[in-house]
A = this chain, B = another copy of it.
Amino acid sequence: MLSKNISEKLVSSSWIRAMFEQGEKLRKIYGADKVFDFSLGNPDLEPPQGTKNALKKLVLDDDPGLHKYMNNAGFADVREKIAANIQRDTCITMTGKNIIMTCGAAGGLNVVLKTILNPGEEVIVFSPFFVEYVSYIDNHGGKTVISPCDITTFEPDLSDLEKRINASTKAIILNSPNNPTGVIYSEEKLNEIAQLLEAKEEEYKTNILVISDEPYTKLVYDGAKVPSVLKVFKNSVIVNSYSKSLALPGERIGYIAVNNSIDDADSLISGLIYSNRILGFVNAPGLFQKVIAESLDEIVDINVYKERRDILYNHLYKLGFTCVKPQGAFYLFPKALIDDDIEFVKHALKYNVLLVPGTGFGCPGYFRLSYSVNLATIVNSLPLFEAIAKDFK
């Protein structure tokens, strides 16, 4: 009954999911406290109290119509509030009309790609990258083109990028702070990319859309700032999600913000609203649209993540792992101690330590650790990493 495409993909499927299922098995055998699962980016924090209070108030107030259909783009008041928030933070002019509420960032990315891609058009992603991008691009007939980052900084490599852009390039996906590296792309780097894109758009007489996937923008440490993509790129949209910043991943709530500086932005907005409808999202979940509108300045306690990052990073550093110290998100992406990252991850499994191989992010030779796990797991895992490091000395 399965299509050929899905049938083939089920076999290769996701490394992250595979590790998650492996973890479930191990937990059944050894007990949850004996399994050290760093494989999944599932925020273990609870939503901020302000967000929980907003949810309670909305449910108790029980305004009529709260659960009804609204415009496919979302509730008008919610869109206005998000636009005002973006304008306050970036000084970019933004109104509710530019905002389309979506079922998380995954939904938003699919809506954008559905709206812009003609068959065979190319979308550039920088490796390492969130592997689902490839499926999202494929869903809508596009072709993924991978541009490897400079592995000393995990920032885009301009000279490689230049070679990948051609007349079929329709879009570029940026993800900063990055999953899996935690790196924040510098304003300087973004400006260089913008200059390159403008030159290439001129050369090929095309428009290249910068799609900025930003679920981790608020999860930053050490006072780091994430430069505004809307300021740097004329042709840009933000795709955002409250899964990480408000710890609401199961509720599927996010938005697309369309840069006013796009020529005929209104057509693009109409197309996005239409795609949101026909892809079957119809609209972002209503109650949580209202919840996030009441908690735009809320955020989970990032000091909790920072503490975990510091413990893990410092420990791995001492053990001789090479790793760019992440300024954002909740991942570490160290170099494996042998070339074969899959072999390395399999070895860690012997200690009930679950990691994801870099291969799963288009970047062999590395592995990803998610530190959205509780402190006890991290502390108890430290001797295990020590043992693993010893095995490869």
Tell me how many chains of this kind the complex includes. Answer: 2
Minimum CB distance partner of A109 in chain B: B280
- The interface on chain A, measured as residues whose beta carbon lies within 8 A of the other chain's beta carbons, has a size of 77
Q: Among residues 105 to 150 in chain A, which have CB atoms less than 8 Å away from a CB atom of chain B?
A: 106-111, 114-118, 132, 135-136, 139
Q: Among residues 249 to 287 in chain A, which have CB atoms less than 8 Å away from a CB atom of chain B?
A: 249-252, 262-264, 267-268, 270-271, 274-275, 277-287
A42 touches B69 (CB 8 A): yes
B280 touches A249 (CB 8 A): no
A56 touches B46 (CB 8 A): no
**A1 in the interface (beta carbon within 8 A):** yes
B251 touches A10 (CB 8 A): no
**A232 in the interface (beta carbon within 8 A):** no
A104 touches B251 (CB 8 A): no
A274 contact set on B, CB distance < 8 A? 6, 9-10, 13
**A7 in the interface (beta carbon within 8 A):** yes
A250 touches B1 (CB 8 A): no
A103 contact set on B, CB distance < 8 A? 103, 252, 280-282, 285
Complex Cα gap A1–B40 (Å): 35
A241 to chain B, nearest CB (A): 10
Q: Given that A47-B67, A52-B62, A287-B287 are known contacts, is A115 also in contact with B3, CB under 8 Å in the complex?
A: yes
Given A4-B118, A280-B281, 11 other A-B residues pairs in contact with their CB atoms under 8 A: A1-B209, A3-B115, A6-B274, A43-B68, A67-B247, A67-B248, A249-B282, A250-B286, A250-B287, A252-B283, A287-B287
